[in-house]
Chains A and B, each alone.
Chain A
Amino acid sequence: MKYFKLPYLVLMCSMMIASNGYAAQQLHHFKLDSYQTILQQNKKQPFFMVLWSLDCMPCMKELKMLGEFHQKYPQHKLVLISTDNINQSDEIVQLITEYGLQTVDQWVFDGSFQYLRHSIDPAWYGELPRGYFFKRDQTRIASSGQLHQNQLIQYFSEDIK
């Protein structure tokens, strides 16, 4: 009986809406100035930014690794950027939720791939996954291909020292 009390119902309602819309609302649209926004938002803290795509098989291994990493080290900041289209948002949200990454900072490309790629790194050719570890001073270490968790742990631990 007590479960039918109004406050509980409002909470249930919020949870239902959240389960469907929360992650989608968190999927920011990555535009030409978004890279600078990410830098601004993460000033003075190390973070790992990964570009990935739904049609990139090694990216799934990378997301699995990041999901496990995030479970163990929720204090370490991750930023995920999907290079897919915004009309694939539902699929993106579903996938990142499967890997337990729904609470991580999420972006999806909104615009021409070439321009957005160039806004992040003219030297990146589009191969995926593409990772950037940003030190506290915002110097970055780029890597193409799947990263091992130990490498990521090392990046964060060296920067924290």
Chain B
Amino acid sequence: MKKSRMNITKIALGIVLVCTALSSQASMSHKKSSVVSKDCADVAQPASLRCASAPSSVFDQNNRLWVAWAYAGHVYVNYSDNMGKTFSTPVAVNRKPEAISARGENRPKIALDKKNDIYVSWTKPLEKRFTGHIRFSYSRDGGEHFSEPVIVNDDLSVSGHRFEALGVNDNGDVYLSWLDKRDRDQARKKGDKYHGAALYYVWSDDAGKTFKANQKIIDHSCECCRVVMKMDDQLPVILWRNIYGKNTRDHSLVKFLGKDKPGNVERVSFDNWQVDSCPHHGPDMSVADSGLYHLTWFDNAPESHGLFYTRRNVNGTYDKAINFGDYNAAASHPNVVNIGDKVWLVWKQFDGKQESIWLQRSIDAGLSWLKPEKIAVAKNSDYPFLLSNGTQAFVQWQTVEDGFKLIPLSE
């Protein structure tokens, strides 16, 4: 009797072991599935810009193009001296790998000052959904080495600190602004309601070595659209999607009046898109030397939808917004840049067969616009981003087919 009980126990243990193996195999085999194209699927291969999903680029004072991008747990920086035809060997900013937000609206950022010191930021997502920390690093030796990344949000709770924007002025004053949920978390602990997130900023007057305390600009921003920061006369201007009332998601702008003094928040758009959803669709802005701002965004309200452009005049008034792009072809993700009175708008469309990049130009500082033109097509691509080297405008466009592209634009 004793013997037969032992045999049954052995059989039971055997079955449990086989079951465990089968069970874990089911889970493992499922993890293998991926949509990454074949030549980019092996993360053991050397990091390459071609396989980066969400790069950002900028020109320095010497017309060198710098790009920041994420790959296999590292933010990398490299440069091109021939307008994106070839690139230098990438340098890892963070030596220890970590999670990096690099998709759509949230991606590593790069900026340079007049001395060509390099500044890089990104969002590190944490284990809990919708949480993250804002990471920052700099290089003083032309991108050969980067400082140990730091977290710039001084609230270190597992909360939302994400979608950062980075701006650096000529003196190397560094500004970061992001969507922050620390106040939302506090409100909810008390049982209070809190719509959206808050817009916070931090700044450094020693070129990123140390940062001042975090400060809030406004409560109730939208939670998942990119924030844009540009410099006007060495001071930041920030544009983002805000929440007005309970759920109206229109755009707002704040212009700093001093280094540590945000001005009043101005409402930019009045489309009244009332939606409790994630648009994942942030605005863009270009600041002219004259103090004129070119602004563009997307909204999808029943009465006012599609892509919009307006100007904020030097005296702080706004022109009536104009609608552009083909709404029926999903015109989306607009970008704007200016060189003097020349202004370029680009955006993405999809006709059911191809993704395309469209361009519309103005030669009178946005007062009138030439006809829109299709400038590039691809099957699967990133959003388009405009940049300029001061004399010429370009579109940065990453496609699955060709990787990183820099498309020069005619005047």
A interface with B by C-beta (< 8 Å): 1, 4, 6, 9-10, 12-13, 16-17, 19-21, 24, 53-61, 85-87, 89-90, 110-112, 114-115, 117-118, 122-123, 125-130, 144-146
Q: Chain B: interface secondary structure?
A: mixed
B22, B35, B298, B332: the one contacting A111 at CB < 8 Å is B35
Count residues of chain B with CB under 8 A from any CB of chain A. Answer: 44
Bound Cα distance A29, B298 (Å): 30
Asked if A4 contacts B278 (CB within 8 A), the reply is no
**Pair A145/B277 contact, Cβ less than 8 Å:** yes
CA distance A144 to B26 in the complex (A): 35
Given contacts A20-B27, A118-B330, contact A4 B9 (CB under 8 A): yes
The answer, yes or no, to whether B223 is at the interface (CB within 8 Å) is: yes
A89-B30 contact given A56-B278, A58-B278, A122-B328, CB 8 Å threshold? yes
Nearest CB on B from A32, distance (A): 11
Interface string of B271-283 (1 = CB under 8 A from A): 0000111111100
Q: How far is the CA of A112 from the CA of B280 in the complex (A)?
A: 17
Of A12, A19, A117, A127, which contacts B300 at CB under 8 A? A127
In the assembled complex, the Cα of A1 lies from the Cα of B6 at a distance in Å of 11
A126 to B332, CA, bound (A): 10
**Could you write out 16 A-B pairs with CB less than 8 Å apart?**
A4-B9, A13-B22, A16-B19, A16-B20, A24-B26, A24-B27, A54-B129, A55-B130, A55-B224, A56-B278, A114-B380, A118-B350, A125-B332, A127-B280, A144-B275, A145-B275
In addition to A90-B31, A127-B275, A127-B277, 18 A-B residue pairs with Cβ atoms within 8 Å of each other are A4-B12, A12-B19, A13-B16, A13-B18, A16-B22, A16-B23, A17-B22, A86-B34, A87-B33, A115-B350, A117-B330, A118-B350, A125-B298, A126-B280, A127-B280, A127-B281, A129-B277, A144-B277
Contact digits for B210-240, partner A, Cβ 8 Å, 1 yes 0 no = 0000000000000110000000000000000
What's the nearest-Cβ distance from chain B to residue A35, in Å?
13
CB-CB under 8 A from A127, the residues of chain B are 275, 277-281, 300
Q: Contact: B35 with A57, CB < 8 Å?
A: no
**Is B322 close to A, CB under 8 A?**
no
Q: B36 interface residue, CB < 8 Å from A? A: yes
**Complex: A118 Cα to B298 Cα, angstroms:** 18
* Interface assignment of B370: CB less than 8 Å from any CB of chain A: no
Q: Output the least CB separation between B110 and chain A (Å).
A: 23
Q: Which residues of B contact A128 (CB under 8 A)?
A: 277-278, 280
A112 to B33, CA, bound (A): 15
B224 to chain A, nearest CB (A): 7
* Shortest beta-carbon contacts, A-B, top 6: A21-B26, A145-B277, A13-B19, A145-B276, A145-B275, A56-B278
A59/B278 in contact, CB under 8 A: yes
Please tell me if B355 contacts chain A, counting CB pairs below 8 Å: yes
